[in-house]
Every structure is written in C-alpha cells, then in structure tokens.
Amino acid sequence: MHILLDHLKSEDLAPPLSLEGQRKVSEVLRDITHLSPYPDSIVTLEHGLLFLGRREDNKYLGVVSRDSGIFRRFAGAHHKSFVNGEEVSVLIAPTNGGNAAVLRNLLPYLKPRVLGTAKSIGCGDRLGTATPGHIRAVRKTTVVPILAQQSVRENERTGRSPQDVLDDATWGAFQEGWRDGFGADADHLKTEQDIESFAAAGYTFFTIDPGDHVDNDAGEASGAVLQGKVDALPWEELETTAADLVRVLADSPIRLTGFDARFTAEQVLRAAAKYGRVVAHTVRLYRHLENTLNPRPFELEMNVDETDTVTSLAEHVYIAHELKRLGVKWVSLAPRYVGGFEKGVDYLGNLEAFRKSFEQHLAVATSFGPYKLSLHSGSDKLSIYPIVAGLAGDLFHVKTAGTSYLEALRTIAGFSPALFRRIVAWAVERYPTDRASYHVSAELPKMPEVRMMSDEALPNLLDDFHGREILHVTYGSVIQQKELRGPFFAALRQCEETYMRRVEAHFDKHLNALR
C-alpha cells in the first residue's frame, strides 16, 4: 500500500508521523499539491490528510482525501490528482479566519484552554508570525504557553483584532504540530467593553488592568487626607466597612506561609485607600466575565504592575483578602514589584531586594490561593528568572510581548540593511510620542548613531539599551507606516526560517533561566 493512501484510512485523529514518515508523505504532497509542506503540520483524521504548505512566500492549508466530505468544511479550490494510480481529491485553501475556525473544530487541541497553576509563559506576538519559534522553544520544557496574547492597546497600534491574534496563533500551532495545548490572554482589560471581542473570539485568560484606579498618594497622605480618601471609597460595592476591615486585618495576626504578619490599623487603611477602587473595579469586571462567558471556563489575572509605587506586603494581603471575600477566583496576580521593569531590557534594581520582596509576595500567593505570581514586562528579565523559579516552583507566569518583534528587526537588519535603516529613522521620529504609555527610560541622544554604523554592525543596535527600548515601543508606528509595512512583512516571509531560529534561541535564554 502506498504510504499516503495508507494514512487516508484513519477515521480518528492519528498520532504524529515519524520523521521518516513526514519525509515520505511530504514528497508525495509536494507532487500532487505543488506546495512545500511544513512536515510537523501533517495530520490525518476522517479519512483525510491536512497540512500547512508554502508556495513562494504564501501559506495555504492543504487537504487530501479519497472522500470529499471533509472538504465541505473548508473554503478553497478543489482539484483531482492520482496517487499510485488511485484518484484522490485535493483542496488548497487560504489561511483565513473562517478556515482557522474550522480547523479548531476539527483539531480541539488548537482551541485555547485554561491552564491552572502550571508554570506558564505568555508569548506575545505583535506581528502574528512568531508562534512557530515560540513553540520550538517551549517544546523543550515543561512550561505551558499562552500563544495568543495581545492587549487592547497593542491591537490598536498594530491594526489587529482579538480574532486575528487567535487565528495567527492557530496557524502557527498547526504549522509546528503542537498538540499539548495553550492559552489565549486578553491582556490589559480596563472596561466591560474591552472584554466583548476577546470573549467572542474564544479567549480563556483575562487580565484585568485596574491601574487607573490605584491611588498612588495614599501611602504618604497625612492623617486627615487619608481619612478623606478612606471615607470616599465605594464601600457599598466593597460590601464592608472601614471598621470591619480593620477588625479583620489589623486586630489579629494574618497567618502566611512561613510566618505571621501583623499590620496596624493605619497600614490597613492606607492599603484600602490605595487599592480599594482597584478591588471594586476588578470585582465588577470579574462578574461581567462570569455573566458573559457562562458556562465557559475562564481564568483571571489581575495586575497593578504598571503603577508608580511598589505594592507592600500589607497591600498585597489587602488585595488578596478582599478579592477572595468578594468571591473572585483568580489564577495569577502581578503586584508592582520593587525595582524597575522596563520594556525589552533586564531588571533594573538590587537583586537581593527583589528576592526578599518576592518571598513576601509568594507567601501571600500560597496562603490566599495558591495562585501564580505574574511578571509583566517579563521579557528579557534574565537576572531575576532564577530567583523566581527557585522560590516559586511552578507558581509563576512570565508575560512577554515585544521581544519577538525585536528579533524580527534583528532578522531584517541582517537581510535588508537599507530597510532596517528606514525603520530606525521612523522609530526615532516616533519615539517621543510612542513612549508615553510605556515604562521606559531610553534617551534619543544616547542611542548610537545609525548612520555611523556599518551594515554588518546594524544588528548590534538591538543589544544597546537605548536603541532596544526605542525600537521596542515604536512597533505600532513602524507596522502601520504604509511605506514600511509591505517591505517589513515581505522580508520576514523571505527569511522565515532565520526569524524562527532567532525567536527560538531568544526564548531558549528565557526558558533556560526559568528552570
């Protein structure tokens, strides 16, 4: 029996092919479809064989079957071919959203799922092209990936929708034959309206960002001012009173993992003044999620990391205690840690101070959860990863976003120096505006003069602190610039394998440090 025809016998989902099986089947598929298959994508079920293939710079879904029944699910072009003298039906279909939805229904492992408290990494992909590289790195570890992860802000800047992000992750996971599951993170949600399109697309992980409701002045407010802030809290929404709060959190010790914590009434009231509106807002969005998604399971993360003042032990206890009392269930939380967490660069601060602070936050997370401690702006924080993994075990989530975009720029710098120079020039022009919504400290005068750099040295700009941050936060302006967008993506398509290897190697650094 011919190897491809033999595989068309399978009614149920078949195990992945061996390397030799991939090679042999790919040769046949190349002949009858005129596509170059991605070998890991080949899968058989319902008497059909599905794969992702490439023709020139474009990707297509290919389907081969004796019976055309499976074809009716996809939209594409049909033709007949012959294998070992036997007629087969062939479908060549575009990798669009409709076909991605069909593929997810056929292959349930391509649907996002909840992850629980397993250690995890969010692989933000601003371009929709990096997922195969992320998977190649994750595959070597026991870390669970979130492959679809973008915020409302990022989608606005890249011109993508939540559905686009999920579809791109679907095709990337299919390309690499990833069957071990992944999550989809609706990141930095601030309003009920933000939630709707992510929920409709099938996301499973929702990150509430109540940072706008943090009162950063509460920690230093005078007695009278503090009392005014406490009195003005939405106590009806919080379903308690200041007196009850003090009685519960200040009148007796709070038992945490490894030690008992004691807080004064003033510490409790300052925590409430700072984060009370945060708690109320989080509860409101959580209940909206429950109503919107019922009965679909989902996971919640709450983050207050992008704020001005560090989250103290008393403040973390207040947040966790109040969320739990109000019925919120969450899987991870990102406090504002000590030190600097700027975009695209390593941790800025004292490592021992971070260790001591992280130990306290972990004691809260294990006592009130357990839930994971999340590192937002987590990409490239290589110096603290061993601390996090060593202390937390599996109870951590690291969130990355722009680091894969930077590897795309590194790829372009080597492939098309002239295009890279144009990108840098536009990034420099846009940086004063684009930096406003990010925590960065790069200064334009301190970035190396690109015009003085040889073509061979251009990739080094991605290793310079100032150049790296400037290029990191101007991604939206670059991608949306009409004269740059086409050449940018064309270059990545031509250098796909180089780009995937760079992404894989960069994530290897992250994941190796998190072991």
- The answer to whether residue 40 is domain-embedded is yes
Per-residue pLDDT of the chain in tens (515 residues, 90 and over written 9): 588 888 888 889 999 999 999 999 999 999 999 999 999 999 999 999 999 999 999 999 999 998 767 888 999 999 999 999 899 999 999 999 999 999 999 999 999 999 999 999 999 999 999 999 999 999 999 999 999 999 999 999 999 999 999 999 999 999 999 999 999 999 999 999 999 999 999 999 999 999 999 999 999 999 999 999 999 999 999 999 999 999 999 999 999 999 999 999 999 999 999 999 999 999 999 999 999 999 999 999 999 998 889 999 999 999 999 999 999 999 999 999 999 999 999 999 999 999 999 999 999 999 999 999 999 888 999 999 999 999 999 999 999 988 999 999 999 999 999 999 999 999 999 999 999 988 899 999 999 999 999 999 999 999 999 999 999 999 999 999 999 999 999 999 999 999 999 999 999 999 999 98
Query: If you write DSSP's letter for every residue of 11-24 in order, what string do you get?
Result: -SPPPPPPHHHHHH
Give the Cα separation of 119 and 374 in Å (integer).
10
- The answer to whether residue 493 is domain-embedded is yes
Q: Look at strands 48-55 and 36-37 and give their pairing.
A: antiparallel
- The answer to whether residue 473 is domain-embedded is yes
- The answer to whether residue 199 is domain-embedded is no
Range of the domain at 24: 3-94
- The answer to whether residue 485 is domain-embedded is yes
Please tell me the total count of domains within the chain. Answer: 2
- The answer to whether residue 290 is domain-embedded is no
Give the Cα separation of 274 and 315 in Å (integer).
8
CA distances from 397 to 253, 332, 341, 375, 488 (A): 29, 7, 15, 6, 31
- The answer to whether residue 148 is domain-embedded is no
Closest CA to 458 of 428, 488, 416: 416
Give the Cα separation of 126 and 485 in Å (integer).
13
- The answer to whether residue 200 is domain-embedded is no
Half-sphere exposure of 177 (CA within 13 A, CB side): 19
Which SS3 state, helix, strand or coil, does residue 38 take? coil
Considering 94, 117, 146, which residue would you say is the last residue of a domain?
94
Enumerate the active-site residues: 187, 301
* Prediction pTM value: 0.96
Considering 79, 94, 109, which residue would you say is the last residue of a domain?
94
CA of residue 333 relative to chain centroid, distance: 15
Considering 66, 94, 122, which residue would you say is the last residue of a domain?
94
